[in-house]
């Protein structure tokens, strides 16, 4: 990080000596070393270009989705005998679809490339379009074939989501290459600014790149060795103009709140710059956060994690139904694997191990045996060779693994018998990694929260690195899931699991 050089005509920043009592110091603008001190003032023009292209591509994609949905529904419902009224209805459907997506904020620039928000707008638009057709049909007393509506809206929704997925993938590739990024000025205190910058830039596909930071002079920035004190709104606005940023991100800071933050938002609005505020809350998912007006204030409410009741009953039913279907689907694989394990090495087909489940209850977890029969007895002599994360014992090229076992582990086939644990109710399809009693004995007080939910056949740990994760990373992912789980999150993890298993990253 380097100290920002004040542009000509602006007051130089005060020196680093402590300010006299009551006197305010200007901040030092801290700029990442890889960003030039003087940048071309074309950033907003560049952003406007890719935003316009993305918006037009989204409109074309949604219009095409509406046309595809209407055409397929007409052909499937009426075949070659389509009357003129339904032809007109089919022609109006794409236009109505665009209007519904627009009303659900599907074309707002702040949602472009975000993924979940775009998909949610498409789903809400499908619900709105269905309601619109139903209300219009009732109000005009016109008979609209249910088969046409039932086919047209879902197919339009699926086609639109596929189109947005393609656009999302394309912009993600561009952002990984450093294009289509939003330039960000981070404002706040040292630790909060450093944390916020790290979170904004750890996933380039989100589209944020921090080009400057505005810190109080009283905070020492370790990367630059600076000490600052005080901050003024005019300094932030000058930095916005100098670095041509599109977003100002304010970290949690009591000095920049209330009326000061309101005035800053007004000034940024005049410049066409977006303002985002980080409340300093980490590892809390969006569904648990809501903003409610109370006594003229916008208060941020955090809902308690769902640990019992209806949601868990739904999760249990979902696990057993889907688990039963999966067990029947993979039955041939289970049979072939059992024969291979039995006739290629001595020992039992299944390996049973004591694990700790929800609420600290122990159960016998099932796996196909992938090691020699005396693997546990040889564990002590191999402990020094562990490639695990400090707590778990893992060896990348474990000599105890059989030839068949290596393939079973690579594609996670050895874990398929855990579907029986799912049907028994010991495990869930998605959840934290099932821990050993020895691991639980090393838990801190906060770590025990991961046992609020059942351990899972797969989870965030499975799609985020598996055995390559450190102990702290694995625990952080488990706690994040325990605090924020939902059926929608489970479905997303199940979808990502297939890709992680086929890629076999972190499996050994």
- Report the alpha-carbon distance of residue 347 to residue 377 in Å, rounded: 14
Q: How far is CA 238 from CA 11, 19, 192, 261, 453, in A?
A: 11, 22, 21, 16, 50
The per-residue DSSP string of 92-110 comes to: HHHHHHHHHHHHTTTT-GG
- How high is the pLDDT of residue 36? 39
- How high is the pLDDT of residue 198? 81
- Report the alpha-carbon distance of residue 182 to residue 245 in Å, rounded: 7
Question: pTM (2 decimals)?
Answer: 0.63
- How high is the pLDDT of residue 119? 85
Task: Tell me the residue length of the chain.
Answer: 508
For residue 475, count other CB atoms closer than 10 A to its CB: 24
- Report the alpha-carbon distance of residue 43 to residue 179 in Å, rounded: 11
DSSP helix, strand, coil percent of the chain (3-state; round to 5)? 50, 15, 35
- Report the alpha-carbon distance of residue 390 to residue 343 in Å, rounded: 35
Phi/psi at 219 (5° precision): -95, 135
- How high is the pLDDT of residue 3? 37
Q: What is the Cα Rg of the chain in Å?
A: 28
For residue 61, count other CB atoms closer than 10 A to its CB: 19
Give the residue among 372, 403, 374, 398 at the shortest CA–CA distance from 385: 398
pLDDT in tens, the chain (508 residues): 333 333 333 333 333 233 344 444 444 444 444 443 334 445 555 667 888 888 999 999 999 999 999 888 888 877 777 778 778 888 888 999 999 999 988 888 877 877 777 888 898 999 998 888 888 887 877 777 777 788 888 899 999 999 998 998 888 888 888 888 888 888 887 777 777 888 887 788 888 888 888 876 555 555 443 233 234 556 788 888 888 888 888 887 666 767 778 888 888 888 888 888 887 666 666 566 767 777 666 777 777 666 666 777 888 899 999 999 999 999 999 999 999 988 888 888 898 889 998 888 899 999 998 888 776 666 666 665 655 555 566 666 677 888 888 888 888 888 899 999 999 989 999 988 888 888 888 888 878 888 888 899 988 877 776 556 677 777 888 888 887 787 878 888 888 887 766 655 545 4
Helix (H, G, I), strand (E, B) or coil at 284: coil
Which are the contacts of 225, defined by CB distance < 8 A and separation ≥ 6? none
CB-based burial label for 462 (10 Å; 0-12, 13-18, 19+): buried
Q: What own/partner pairs with CB < 8 Å and gap ≥ 24 does 375-380 have?
A: 375/400
Instruction: Please name the residue that has the structure tokens 């939003």.
Output: 182
For residue 40, count other CB atoms closer than 10 A to its CB: 9
* Per-residue three-class SS string for 140-192: HCCCCCHHHHHHHHHHHHHHHHHHHHHHHHHHHHHHHCCCCCEEEEEECCHHH
- Report the alpha-carbon distance of residue 185 to residue 252 in Å, rounded: 14
Q: Return the ∠ at Cα 213 (arms to 212 and 214), rounded to 5°.
A: 130
The H-or-E segment that residue 214 falls in is strand 208-215
Contact 430, 322 (CB under 8 A): no
- Measured in whole angstroms, the distance separating CA 25 from the mean position of its chain's CA atoms is 39
Contact 201, 209 (CB under 8 A): yes
- How high is the pLDDT of residue 6? 34
- How high is the pLDDT of residue 421? 93
Contact 453, 357 (CB under 8 A): no
Q: Please, what is the end-to-end C-alpha distance for the chain in angstroms?
A: 40
For residue 212, count other CB atoms closer than 10 A to its CB: 23
- Report the alpha-carbon distance of residue 494 to residue 465 in Å, rounded: 15
Helices 487-503 and 310-329 meet at what angle, rounded to 10?
Answer: 30
């Amino acid at each position: 990080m380097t100290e920002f050089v004040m542009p000509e005509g602006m007051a130089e920043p005060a020196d680093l000596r402590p300010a006299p009592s009551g006197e305010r110091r200007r901040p030092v603008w801290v700029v990442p070393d890889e960003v030039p001190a003087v940048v071309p003032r074309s950033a907003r023009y560049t952003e406007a270009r890719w935003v316009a292209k993305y918006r037009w591509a989204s409109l074309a994609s949604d219009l095409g989705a509406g046309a595809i949905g209407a055409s397929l529904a007409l052909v499937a419902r009426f075949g070659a005998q389509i009357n003129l009224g339904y032809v007109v209805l089919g022609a109006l459907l794409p236009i109505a679809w665009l209007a519904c997506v627009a009303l659900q904020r599907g074309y707002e620039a702040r949602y472009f490339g975000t993924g979940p928000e775009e998909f949610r707008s498409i789903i809400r638009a499908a619900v709105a379009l269905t309601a619109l057709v139903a209300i219009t049909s009732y109000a005009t007393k016109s008979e609209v074939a249910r088969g046409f509506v039932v086919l047209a809206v879902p197919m339009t929704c699926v086609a639109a989501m596929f189109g947005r997925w393609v656009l999302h993938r394309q912009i993600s590739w561009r952002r990984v290459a450093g294009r289509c990024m939003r330039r960000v000025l981070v404002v706040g205190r040292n630790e909060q600014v450093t944390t916020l910058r790290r979170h904004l830039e750890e996933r380039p596909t989100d589209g944020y790149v921090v080009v400057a930071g505005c810190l109080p002079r009283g905070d020492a920035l370790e990367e630059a060795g600076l000490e600052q004190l005080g901050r003024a709104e005019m300094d932030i606005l000058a930095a916005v103009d100098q670095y041509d940023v599109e977003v100002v991100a304010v970290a949690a800071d009591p000095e920049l709140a209330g009326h000061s933050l309101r005035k800053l938002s007004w000034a940024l609005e005049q410049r066409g710059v977006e303002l985002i505020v980080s409340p300093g809350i980490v590892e809390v998912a969006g569904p648990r956060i809501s903003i409610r007006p109370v006594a003229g204030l916008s208060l941020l409410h955090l809902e308690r994690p769902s640990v019992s009741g209806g949601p868990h009953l739904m999760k249990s039913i979902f696990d057993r139904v889907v688990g039963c279907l999966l067990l029947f689907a993979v039955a041939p694989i289970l049979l072939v694997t059992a024969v291979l394990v039995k006739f290629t090495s001595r020992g039992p087909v299944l390996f049973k191990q004591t694990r700790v489940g929800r609420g600290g209850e122990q159960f016998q977890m099932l796996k196909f045996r992938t090691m020699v029969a005396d693997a546990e007895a040889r564990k002590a002599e191999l402990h020094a060779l562990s490639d695990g994360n400090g707590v778990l014992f893992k060896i990348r090229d474990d000599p105890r693994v059989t030839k068949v076992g290596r393939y079973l582990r690579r594609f996670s086939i050895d874990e398929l018998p855990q579907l029986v644990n799912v049907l028994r109710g010991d495990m869930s399809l998605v959840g934290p990694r099932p821990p050993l009693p020895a691991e639980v004995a090393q838990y801190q007080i906060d770590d025990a929260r991961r046992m609020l939910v059942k351990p899972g056949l797969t989870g965030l740990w499975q799609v985020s690195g598996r055995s390559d994760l450190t102990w702290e990373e694995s625990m952080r992912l488990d706690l994040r899931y325990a605090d924020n789980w939902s059926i929608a999150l489970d479905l997303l993890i199940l979808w990502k699991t297939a890709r992680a298993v086929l890629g076999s990253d972190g499996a050994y």
